[in-house]
Amino acid sequence: MIVIRNNEKKPSLNEFQGKKQEIYLALENSPIIYPYSSLHEFIFDLFLRENIILTARKLNESGATFAPFSTSKFNPQIWTKTKYGYLLKTDILPSEAIKDVFTNGKEYAFECSTAIVLIFYKAVLETIATSYFNTLFQRLLVWDWNYDKDLGIITKRGRDFIPGDVVYFYNPDFGHPVWTGENTVYLGEGLFFGHGIGIETEEGMINALNTLRRPNATRPAYLISQHSRLDTQYLSQFTRKSFSTDRKVYV
């Protein structure tokens, strides 16, 4: 259930369109209370979640491939490979570096957790002012779950998945450590995106991971009761404009 704490009137469902309506319904129909400090924060969350979903689909179409760190690659004109990950070069703006992953995807190869962090960065870039993004995320270091503290990833237990959440399919009998599991974005409508597998239903994701088990495996992959989200209360202060004062941006 959606609760807005400062007594601002909650907008109606018909003030939104498309994916934002689906997100709204998932939040409102949840048995979990979703408290927002303001109407602005609530609407920001809808836009951010929608951008996470759109960005996941863009990555799926980008041409970026799946690879472990040993055979990974990032555009060398923008990133420097270190033993900890890929470090942004000092003369490149963070916003331009993140955009490059999605527009120049054939220059990139990485695994699924790196994909999630990149999706989060790109979605935040699409939702807040570019100037704020470049201030918050200077000298990016990207690989696995390395991320700037200002991204504010929050992980909780439970299966109350809202579109735009990141969820994990665990593969206990993996054949190669890179396939221990698959981090995915829940796209809504029963679909998940995982880098290296693509867009699948829950059953499709599990079936794909089951083909990546060691010989004579007995334990199937499964979706764990956990979800990761961004700190919208913190990030909403950096938005381009106040959503709550311009109803046109709802759609």
Domain boundaries, the chain: 2-243
Give dist(CA 217, CA 219) in Å, integer. 6
Residue pair 178/126 in contact (Cβ under 8 Å)? The answer is no
Q: What is the pTM of this model?
A: 0.95
- pLDDT digit string, tens, across residues 71-90: 999 999 999 999 999 999 99
pLDDT tens for 137-177 read 999 999 999 999 999 999 999 999 999 999 999 999 999 99
* Residue 249 pLDDT: 47
Whole-angstrom Cα distance, residue 199 to residue 58?
A: 11
